[in-house]
A = this chain, B = another copy of it.
Amino acid sequence: MSSTIMKQILVDMDGVLADIYAHLIAYEYRESGILLNQQELNGKLEGEAFPSFEKVVRSKGFFRTAPVMEYSVEGLNYLNNKYKVLIVSSATEFPDSLTEKLAWLNEHFPFISWKQMIFCGSKDSICGDIMIDDHIKNLGSFPGRKILYTQPQNALIQDPSLERVNTWQEIVGML
């Protein structure tokens, strides 16, 4: 038993808990016949890299059926026992994503309660000590410890204020 106050950790969904790139690649291929590889995606935001992005992310079922990132269930469960975890997801831009993301969390991460979920437009006003995210736009203004989860769109970024991780095993190893 410890008397220290638990640190609060903000965990992103798309690109951190959900393997949204694998999902986008599959949807893009189905939609347009274009099969993108990792090399072609590096350094481009999702909307630039995937020609059908706008259509795909607004299609019913996209977020509900996203694959779960490898080892993220075990990893988040570990964090949830050690920290005050909040799942913070950009969702209000895509109205259908809201209930889909909530149902997806309930299915794959049943140990996360509705009290731990935040669906927002911007993450600027969410307080925490640590943030795990794959987007610079979210980490940039965060005043706490910033952990960048590697995804193709951020692969070229070099920023000493960020701690880069490539897997959930690495997250568990450092937190």
Contacts from A to B (Cβ < 8 Å)? 8, 86, 91-93, 95-96, 98-99, 102-103, 113-122, 125-128
Taking a contact as CB atoms under 8 Å apart, the answer to whether A121 and B126 are in contact is: no
Taking a contact as CB atoms under 8 Å apart, the answer to whether B117 and A86 are in contact is: no
Taking a contact as CB atoms under 8 Å apart, the answer to whether B114 and A93 are in contact is: yes
- SS class, residues of chain A in contact with chain B: mixed
Take A96-B99, A99-B99 as given contacts and tell me if A119 and B119 are in contact as well, using a CB distance cutoff of 8 Å. Answer: yes
Taking a contact as CB atoms under 8 Å apart, the answer to whether B93 and A98 are in contact is: no
Residues of B within 8 A of A128 (CB): 125
Residues of B within 8 A of A8 (CB): 125
30 contacts between A and B (CB under 8 A): A86-B125, A91-B119, A92-B102, A92-B114, A92-B115, A92-B119, A93-B114, A95-B102, A95-B103, A96-B99, A98-B98, A98-B99, A98-B102, A98-B119, A99-B99, A113-B121, A114-B121, A115-B121, A115-B122, A116-B121, A117-B120, A118-B120, A118-B126, A119-B119, A120-B120, A125-B127, A125-B128, A126-B126, A126-B127, A127-B127
